[in-house]
Structure 1
């Protein structure tokens, strides 16, 4: 696991999955149909347990303030701060590993238990799994993410 920093809140817009995990691909498909041009955007998966069920959202970065609302999509901000993270290469062939990584991340005592888990799809083959840390628990080398 590595330590990462996001310097500014990241504004995104989301499509919520109807179920988890089965509805994930359908949520990304709906997002891709609504947003005509995904080129140059950061793409994310955002999840959080609520009432015993995982709420999952497929998300993309805004190109301008209010873009998501204009498209009829829900806005969301990925919190700035320090994150514990792990990279998964060839994630499409290893989708089952995503849950294993997040299970390891959320078990870490340094995390902010109220925060969302973030999947950043950096490329068709590289996925960075992130979980927000408590600020008072950050020690060691930190890599700044450019989002």
Structure 2
């Protein structure tokens, strides 16, 4: 498990999956059909329980101001702060690893109970799964 610090808020735009987990792939496909994903564009999965069900958002960071906003996507801020996380190499070989990693991360007593589960995709094969921890 790694401790990382996000020094400044990350502004992203997202598409919300119709359901979780079934609608996640469709949401990723829709996002990829709208925008280009050059190597420098950071992309994320953002989720947490809301009103009794898991809400999942596929998100991307703008490279040039306005390049995502023009698609009428909703803005979201990934807050700065301290996070704990685990990287998964070649996650596509076993997608269930993402759930297993978050189950492990969420057992930490220091997590921010109002935070989100954040997946930061590193290329097409690797993902860094993280959760925000409480500020002291």
Q: TM-score range by the shorter chain?
A: over 0.9
Give the equivalent residue in structure 1 for 2:129. Answer: 129
Gaps of 5+ in 1: 137-147
Q: CA deviation at 1:66?
A: 4.4
Q: Does 1:73 align with 2:60?
A: no
Q: 2:45: which partner in 1? A: 45
Give how far 1:68 is off: 3.2
Aligned position for 2:63: 63
Deviations 1:104-138 (A, max 9, x none): 111210110101110001122211001000122xx
Aligned-residue RMSD, C-alpha: 1.1
Partner Cα separation in structure 2 for residue 48 and residue 58 of structure 1: 13
Following superposition, which runs of at least 4 residues in structure 1 exceed 6 angstroms of deviation?
none
SS of 2:37's equivalent? coil
TM-score of the superposed pair, with normalisation by structure 2: 0.94
1:69 Cα shift? 2.8
- Output one character per residue of 1:37-69: Cα deviation in whole Å (capped at 9) or x when no partner: 210201100001011100001111112344433
* Paired positions, count: 135
